[in-house]
Structure 1
Amino acid sequence: MSDITSLKIQGKVLSPESPDYQKALHRNSDLSILDAAYVVQPEAYTDIPPVLAYATSHGLEVAVTGGGCHSSTWASSKGGVVIDLGRLNKVTLSADKKVVTIQGGARWGDVYEVGGKEQREIPGAPLWFVGVGGSLLSGASGYLSGRYSLGIDNLVAATVVLADGRIVRTSAEDEPDLFWAIRGGGNQFGIVVEFELRTYPAPGPATTGTLIYPGTEFDGEFHEQASVDEKLTVVWARPGPHFKPTIIVAPWISAGAERSPHQILEPLRIKATPVVDKITTAPDQTTLSHASDASQARAPRRLQIRGGAFSKFWTDIMVGSWERWVKFTEDNEDARASTLIWDVRNPGAITKVGPTDTAYPIRKPHCFVAIQGRWVSFSIHLIEETADHLPPCMIRNTRPETDEVTSAWLRSIADFIREANTANSGEDLGVILTMAKGDELPEAVFGQNLPRLRKLKAKYDPKNVWSKGFTIEPDFS
């Protein structure tokens, strides 16, 4: 019987014996890695249908990876087939520069480099290494979202490989149901191999930088800002060598903002004096997307992520979250790299889109927090010192008990934020798909859009080929 390596495709098929196999398994979190039977790296869209046909006829699970940044195993498969879109990463601007066409394996850094050369901005995720496909299908929130809304709200059209092997173009006019579903429904309706997004003129260099305060300055109060051209990223961290609770504030101020950077940042300097006050400019989105490279390089790779949406920076949410984070990182020394990252912004244009206009349901005014659980085990300390002498299986050594502790803390603090916000506001905002782990109720993730999504799942993926990710059960009634 022939195997998948005999398929006539332009791309590569990797098995555990292939030299590049281990590299192909790499993910942003070591906890996201599973050993696939095959990793297929297409060179053309037409490579994908025969791979799907082979996998489904042999009962093999199918997973798709672009950036591989989610901390779950959604882009991996144990014993199945992983379709790695990394070779399909071309980015091109239209002749009038108003639309950018992005292949499904591109990362946002690829997009921003092309846009920067032509002084165009593209609404997308804030970090260069995040895959376009995974983030866009879940919303894609970033610096420009207040003014231009989410990435999905700027999607003009897309090309999708369906579960039955058909390759279709979808837009508001062509396959409109599919177009609605992929804008917030996640990876449940096909492999999007090409996106077409609106672009906008770049107003000029943005103001950015870092203000750092000792954790003793934390008073539980945050103040939302008015302008859609301003955003603060507030990080609670324990940087070495002292590992004391610390507040890191990273501003982003568009060159198009009405107020000056001095006016915007002055309150942050009056209320408390930062121990570090380094404000600079970033010429383009590419530079901004690389702002956290140094901290990412040092961060432990045993990463789990959850998060939450909330309507206001309620004092009880801030104080309660602070106390829980401080206690967890004090009680678990190896978890001191765990952080909370608060997005302080005016949601602006996000709220101008109706909750049923796309599959993305959270359109009420809100901000969000990303909760990162990072663990450094004793085995990892040894690996850092002796990695050159250890085989790959040792480098990927894990301690499940620490993962369970971190997972339980992540869930508890995410639940606390959601429940406290519901109590304060009278409305449950649910769970943001990019920060879901898969154990939440689907109603919490997709809200009132879930019934329609289930109907469309039955239409476009009746056999549930796309079973990885936050799975939507088909409704055949």
Structure 2
Amino acid sequence: MTTSTPILDHKLLDRLRGAVRGDLVEPGDPDYDEARKVYNAMHDKRPAIVVQAVDAGDVIATVDFARDQGLTLAVRGGSHSVPGYGTCDGGVVLDLGRMRGIRVDPDARTAWVEGGCTWADVNHATHAFGLATTGGVVSTTGVGGLTTGGGMGYLARRCGLACDNLASVDLVTADGSFLTCTDEQHSDLLWAVRGGGGNFGVVTSFASRLHPIADILGGPTFYPLDADVIRRYRELVAESDERLGALLVVGLGPPVPFLPERWHGRPLCGVVACWTGPEAEDDRIRERLDALGPVVGRHLERMPYPVINTLFDDLVPAGLHHYWKGAFTQGLPDGVIDAFVEYGPTTPSIQSVTVVFPIDGACHRVRPEDTAFSYRDADFSIALSPTLTTREECDAHKGWVRAFHGALAPHSMEGGYVNFMDGDDQDRVGANYRGNLARLTAMKRHYDPGNLFHLNHNIAP
């Protein structure tokens, strides 16, 4: 699916070209089709220009250009935005993918990370010092989008959300200002970036706090899809040390060597564990997982922390077609478990995994008003996604995920995690930010009154 692409005035483009060190990619250039691609193949947009920035100066010049010309601006980091907010038709794409610098201070336990980095970049750099921080479950995910939305992952129970570990950010606002935001200066913007998404500007670098985590016990344990297994999982999380990260997955058995062939494509549930405690307690963790139900497959072993962040990479490469919905729950109510058991067997593909993230522990030690991410009373965050190889298949299964989400709704909280929302969830923005919405709206009105940064789960000024 394509649309006609406006051609920008060459004098204007020459002016922009003279202001940036990176590359400008236009329609008709040999690498245009590659430059406009995003992770979710549902979005086949044709921007008028893609700016491949290499530094903050390029970001400022591009923001000024888009604003002054009245053009739509899409900001792309890791390109994983499921609603496709990293691209647009006829506007400007600001691609941060070449801004991948990282500096680690092991004594201060801090990493300075440029806005185009992925979690693979961060994990590689920090692991050299025996350090880590919360960041996703797919290594190709961008640091920027995940962190500014809140940031869930294996380490959340022990270390908090990714946004909770932010010490500062460098931010380019809609008027082209470059601001370093800390708890001491421009603290309102640091507050907003901690969960408010891309509404307030372009983060060119993040300073994140690190934790002494090197090797872990990690990997999946699979069971037949059964309500009793999930209830025991619920008890496991409620009773376990915060050093145990334990994601629940519901879907169809993947064709992996540690799962017997008779379970390939059959309904399963699984727990992807990440134990950051001492190796001497590994056997106790295995016993706790054994007690959840009959184990039909397992790949649970000691590994460097960065490895666990890659386990789903091959399952969901770039170029598939995605449509998502999300929900928060307090506890894991029986009605939610019943919905997992009802909809799990009709999961449309092996890639369409329902994932449940525990967000208790350290996440609960932050007050709702302390960050833009307000759901500090939620215990779990649920991601639903039909993920298919073609647009037609994905469109055909949107009804499945909407019905699944509808079955969860009576047992869920009103809002959901913004990074699990699709483009048709804009009406949920108020519920997603709850009591923080008024403050966020006032800040949006101050820092971006023209709503230049509107390609996101938008907080309208």
Normalised by the length of structure 2, the TM-score is 0.88
**Which residue in the other structure is 2:12 paired with?**
3
Q: SS where residue 101 of structure 1 aligns?
A: strand
Tell whether 2:210 aligns with 1:210.
no
Tell whether 2:424 aligns with 1:433.
no
Tell me the distance in 2 between the aligned counterparts of 1:114 and 1:375. Answer: 33
**Structure 2 counterparts to residues 319-358 of structure 1, below 5 A:** 319-327=338-346, 329=348, 335=349, 337-343=351-357, 345=358, 347-358=360-371
Q: SS where residue 432 of structure 2 aligns?
A: helix
Alignment partner of 1:196 out of 201, 207, 211: 207
Tell me the distance in 2 between the aligned counterparts of 1:143 and 1:254. Answer: 10
Report the CA distance between 1:26 and its aligned residue.
Answer: 2.5
Assess if the C-alpha contact under 8 Å between 1:4 and 1:51 holds in 2: no
Report the CA distance between 1:97 and its aligned residue.
Answer: 4.2
Cα RMSD over matched residues?
2.2
Gaps of 5+ in 1: 330-334, 378-397, 422-427
Tell whether 2:153 aligns with 1:142.
yes
Report the CA distance between 1:349 and its aligned residue.
Answer: 1.0
Q: SS where residue 319 of structure 1 aligns?
A: helix
Amino acid in structure 2 at the alignment position of 1:246: L
Name which of structure 1's ranges 456-465 and 245-254 shifts more when overlaid on structure 2. Answer: 245-254
Name which of structure 1's ranges 109-118 and 286-295 shifts more when overlaid on structure 2. Answer: 286-295
Alignment partner of 1:415 out of 398, 406, 422: 406
Name which of structure 1's ranges 448-457 and 31-40 shifts more when overlaid on structure 2. Answer: 31-40
**Which residue in the other structure is 1:275 paired with?**
296
Amino acid in structure 1 at the alignment position of 2:302: T
Distance change >3 Å, CA 356–CA 88, structure 1 → 2: same
CA deviations on 1:314-356 (whole Å, 9 max, x unpaired) are 2221112321232464xxxxx564221223x461111111101
Tell whether 2:280 aligns with 1:289.
no
Alignment partner of 1:55 out of 66, 78, 93: 66
**Which residue in the other structure is 1:332 paired with?**
none
Assess if the C-alpha contact under 8 Å between 2:38 and 2:84 holds in 1: no
CA deviations on 1:278-323 (whole Å, 9 max, x unpaired) are 321112x3212112233234x9711122221111122221112321
Distance change >3 Å, CA 198–CA 217, structure 1 → 2: closer
Assess if the C-alpha contact under 8 Å between 2:251 and 2:347 holds in 1: no
Assess if the C-alpha contact under 8 Å between 1:231 and 1:346 holds in 2: no
CA deviations on 1:60-95 (whole Å, 9 max, x unpaired) are 100000011121121111111000001111010126
Report the CA distance between 1:468 and its aligned residue.
Answer: 0.2
Report the CA distance between 1:429 and its aligned residue.
Answer: 5.0
Q: SS where residue 385 of structure 2 aligns?
A: strand
Alignment partner of 2:320 out of 301, 306, 311: 301
Tell me the distance in 2 between the aligned counterparts of 1:81 and 1:470. Answer: 18
Q: SS where residue 189 of structure 2 aligns?
A: helix
Q: SS where residue 199 of structure 2 aligns?
A: coil
Report the CA distance between 1:417 and its aligned residue.
Answer: 1.6
Tell me the distance in 2 between the aligned counterparts of 1:151 and 1:219. Answer: 29
Assess if the C-alpha contact under 8 Å between 1:227 and 1:346 holds in 2: no
Assess if the C-alpha contact under 8 Å between 1:362 and 1:429 holds in 2: no
Gaps of 5+ in 2: 1-8, 256-260
Q: SS where residue 187 of structure 1 aligns?
A: helix
Amino acid in structure 2 at the alignment position of 1:419: P
Tell me the distance in 1 between the aligned counterparts of 2:43 and 2:292. Answer: 41
Assess if the C-alpha contact under 8 Å between 1:300 and 1:374 holds in 2: no
Assess if the C-alpha contact under 8 Å between 1:158 and 1:171 holds in 2: yes
Distance change >3 Å, CA 119–CA 220, structure 1 → 2: closer
Alignment partner of 2:283 out of 255, 262, 286: 262
**Which residue in the other structure is 1:158 paired with?**
169
Tell me the distance in 1 between the aligned counterparts of 2:396 and 2:149. Answer: 27
Alignment partner of 2:275 out of 246, 253, 258: 253
Name which of structure 1's ranges 360-369 and 44-53 shifts more when overlaid on structure 2. Answer: 44-53
Identity over aligned pairs, percent: 25
Report the CA distance between 1:103 and its aligned residue.
Answer: 0.6
Distance change >3 Å, CA 69–CA 277, structure 1 → 2: same
Distance change >3 Å, CA 88–CA 220, structure 1 → 2: closer
Tell me the distance in 1 between the aligned counterparts of 2:411 and 2:378. Answer: 16
Normalised by the length of structure 1, the TM-score is 0.86
Q: SS where residue 121 of structure 1 aligns?
A: coil
Distance change >3 Å, CA 170–CA 115, structure 1 → 2: same
Report the CA distance between 1:137 and its aligned residue.
Answer: 0.5
CA deviations on 1:412-443 (whole Å, 9 max, x unpaired) are 3223323223xxxxxx3521111112423221
Amino acid in structure 1 at the alignment position of 2:295: P
Tell me the distance in 1 between the aligned counterparts of 2:223 and 2:197. Answer: 37
Q: List structure 1 runs of 4+ shifted beyond 4 angstroms.
A: 216-220
Amino acid in structure 2 at the alignment position of 1:362: Y
